[in-house]
Amino acid sequence: MYGGYMWEAWNETCYIEPQSGRYCNEIIDGFTEVEDIYHMPHNELCSYCNTKFYQMLQASQYSAFDATHDPYSIGHINKHCRLSLLTTAPAPLIPKPVSEEPFCLSNIYHTTQEGDTCTSISTSYNVSSYALSEANKENIYGPCDNIDAIPPGRKFCIPLSCEVYGVQPNDLCIDIQYTQKIRGYGISLRTYNAWLDPSCSAGNLQMCLDSHEYAEETYNRAPPPAIQWMQNIPLKARN
């Protein structure tokens, strides 16, 4: 078994680009630095060295083929390079135990379709874009709103719904909070969107304006004793 791994590693390390006679890993090392395969320049994506690498990954049981991500990487290559490389994972040398399906609190699922993005799905189900991406991060490849980041045919868990707001490019959280009339002691956009950083930068996402299960409890909650004490002091006495 170890010999097989060594042989596959040698093949992946030492394969040569026929036209130039150079080692492919040397050529790949000079590729444009990008976030993921979906952002690669077309000539590099469809180059002999890149396509051959994925072809070797798929063909060997001894490769580091990632059954979760690599089929979609190869599918992306096939789509944009007009190829028909196999996308199925090689049979594992050691059978893996069947894993249980991840828990989904809402028990609501969405089967992804061509062209789905986090924003389009979250809008359809009235959920936060961030909550959707966190619940399904194993099935999202690249920036959440990249049209190629969500492959079709994947089973997405839909988070608990809320009243959503589509953030616009020039929106500020303080303006959203004012125009959407978010009120109450200790209530802010970050109450319902804990992922927002202190500067409240949101990007073009869907954010929650309430939380059905949290909001009623929060709005009806009495202020802390110190605040209650201050509220009972006449204004003159406070000065």
pLDDT, tens digit (0-9, with 9 covering 90-100), for 156-207? 999 988 888 888 877 777 788 888 887 766 677 777 887 776 666 656 678 8
Residue 239 has pLDDT above 70, yes or no: no
Lowest mean pLDDT among 22-31, 151-160, 226-235: 226-235
Confidence at 40, pLDDT banded by 50, 70, 90: very high
Provide the strand spans (E) within the chain.
Answer: 109-111, 155-157, 164-166, 206-208
Q: Which amino acid is at 96?
A: K
The pair of three-digit structure tokens given for residue 195, joined into one six-digit string:
């992922």
Say what the alpha-carbon torsion angle 75, 80, 83, 88 is, to the nearest 10 degrees: 0
Mean pLDDT of the chain, nearest integer: 79
The contacts of residue 9 (CB under 8 Å, 6+ apart) are none
Give the per-residue pLDDT at 87: 86
CB of 200 closer than 8 Å to CB of 182: no
Give the per-residue pLDDT at 30: 94
Give the per-residue pLDDT at 20: 94
Residue 225 has pLDDT above 80, yes or no: no
Round to whole Å and give the CA distance between 54 and 63.
10
Give the per-residue pLDDT at 205: 76
The better pLDDT of the pair 101, 125 is held by 125
Q: For the residues 58-68, what does the mean pLDDT come to?
A: 80
Give the per-residue pLDDT at 23: 95
Confidence at 18, pLDDT banded by 50, 70, 90: very high
Round to whole Å and give the CA distance between 119 and 140.
13
Round to whole Å and give the CA distance between 104 and 109.
8
Q: Which amino acid is at 60?
A: S
CB of 176 closer than 8 Å to CB of 167: yes
Q: For the residues 37-47, what does the mean pLDDT come to?
A: 93
